[in-house]
Amino acid sequence: MLDNFDRVKNLPVYVFNVTHELKSKYIDAGIDIIDFSMGNPDQDTPKEIIQELIKGVEEPFAHRYASSQGIDKLRQSMKNWLHNRFDLNLDPKSEIIVTLGSKEGISHLSMAMINAGEKVFVPEPCYPIHKYAFILAGAEIISLNGMSGDLLIDDLKVKLNHHRPKVLILNFPTNPTTDCVNLYFFAEIISLAKKYEFWIIHDFAYADIIFSDKQHPSILQVPGAKDVAVETYSMSKSFNMPGWRIGFVYGNKKLVHALKMIKSYYDYGTYGPIQKACSFALDNYQKFVPQIVKKYKERRDYLSDGLNNIGWEVIKPDATMFIWAKIPKKYSHLNSLKFSELLLNEANISITPGMSFGKLGDEYVRFSLIQENNRVDIALSKLEKILSR
Ligand SMILES: Cc1ncc(COP(=O)(O)O)c(C=O)c1O
């Protein structure tokens, strides 16, 4: 048979395609759906960044292939950003690479690192690519309890007695649980990685979407972390630029080099003017990011207070653009998919079922903070009816 595509044959439908399919019959019928499902920033990219892009597009030679490692100017901006934000000193030539978003970076890095059958430790629940990038690369996945940092580290220690992983992937602040950790946590993980000899990839997509005064640490702030770890950062959330497709992988030289090698075959990097506009964005971080974070904080307060007021007890997250909500007691007999379907069918509200992030998430659903307050009000009054009937 010519259609024996083994690599994709057993993949489940991608999580956001599931929610998209559920809601599309309503959208096709012209029914208004209040959509909290995807972590897809709804606000515009700041105007000045767009202006920089337009300027770049009009420059001579803008149309040419860019470089798959990323242009020097952007890697230099990233170096400065990492220094200013986290006091890190990375070499932009050998320790930083630009990617077409963190999703691409993690995917190609896993392909560069993994030999068939090697084990990878993946916390559950997780952002799907943390697991499937490694499955697609031929790894055996060993799930860790990722419901919180504390549970994760305990489970990691237990599983290290039975398995020798090649890689551990982490993501703090976490999508979907919103969990945050401190530098001691990262230090303990780094020392385990050195003792048991495994690599760490830390996805830092929500590095900036933090609601307390204290910033969330980078794993690379642990002394010696660079020996075993890389981190990924994304322009998608911090700068409202998800469609632009820019992210970074930085840290350990060997891992950066492996990714650079594989990318040199697969791509020529993001369009040059986009890279230049991203350099401008990073150089002017203070001008853009705090306002974006402020908006998420207001939305976090509005939605979590609103849910608590109607009797759906949720924890106010310290970070990310999500609320990770336990299915209310009254509906706890339903799994997360059935409960999400109920909200869609009976209230025209779309949320993401927790099981999309792994079995351990099945008692939860995830709201993204992508709706304005007037839409949240409509959703809350519909939810109140469902909870009180
Ligand atoms: C944890 C996490 N990592 C990565 C991404 C995707 O980032 P990018 O747009 O840079 O590929 C997301 C998007 O929701 C995410 O939540």
- What pLDDT score does 4 carry? 86
Residue pLDDT, tens place only, 49-73: 999 999 999 999 999 999 889 999 9
CA angle 179, 185, 187 (to 5 degrees): 145
pLDDT at 263 over 80: yes
Look at residue 15 and tell me whether its pLDDT is greater than 80.
Answer: no
Atom of ligand 1 nearest to the CA of 127: 1
| Burial environment of residue 180 by CB neighbours within 10 A (0 to 12, 13 to 18, 19 or more) | buried
Worst-scoring range by mean pLDDT, 90-94, 120-124, 152-156, 211-215? 211-215
Cα(102) to ligand 1 centroid in Å equals 6
What's residue 7's pLDDT?
Answer: 85
Contact by Cβ (8 Å): 170, 201: yes
pTM above the 0.75 mark? yes
Residue ranges around ligand 1 (CB below 6 Å): 39, 101-103, 127, 171, 175, 203, 205, 234, 236, 242, 247
Distance 169 CA to ligand 1 centre (A): 14
CA 232 – ligand 1 centroid, Å: 9
Tokens encoding 297? 């904080």
pLDDT of 318 higher than 80: yes
For atom 7 of ligand 1, which residue has the closest CA?
A: 102
Predicted confidence at residue 356, as pLDDT, reads 92
Residue 366, both tokens: 């995830």
How far apart (Å, rounded) are the C-alpha atoms in residues 202 and 168?
Answer: 8
* 364 closest CA partner among 312, 320, 306: 312
pLDDT confidence bin for 114, thresholds 50/70/90: very high
In the chain, where the domains are located: 6-45+288-388, 63-286
Mean pLDDT (the chain, rounded): 96
Compute, in angstroms, the gap from residue 129 CA to the centroid of ligand 1: 9
Does CATH number 3.30.420.40 belong to domain 63-286?
A: no
Q: Ligand 1, closest atom to CA 206?
A: 1
The CATH H-level (homologous superfamily) assignment of domain 6-45+288-388 is: Aspartate Aminotransferase, domain 1 (3.90.1150.10)
Q: Which amino acid appears at position 79 of this protein?
A: K
- Position 19 confidence tier, pLDDT thresholds 50, 70, 90: confident
* Six-digit token string for 157: 């220690």
For the CA of 247, the closest atom of ligand 1 is: 10
CA–centroid distance, residue 358 to ligand 1 (Å): 17
Ligand 1 center to 382 CA (angstroms) = 30
Mean pLDDT on 84-103: 98
| CB distance 75 to 295 below 8 Å | no
Question: Tens of pLDDT along 241-258?
Answer: 999 999 999 999 999 999
Rounded to whole angstroms, how far apart are CA atoms 303 and 26?
Answer: 24
The average pLDDT across 95-122 equals 97
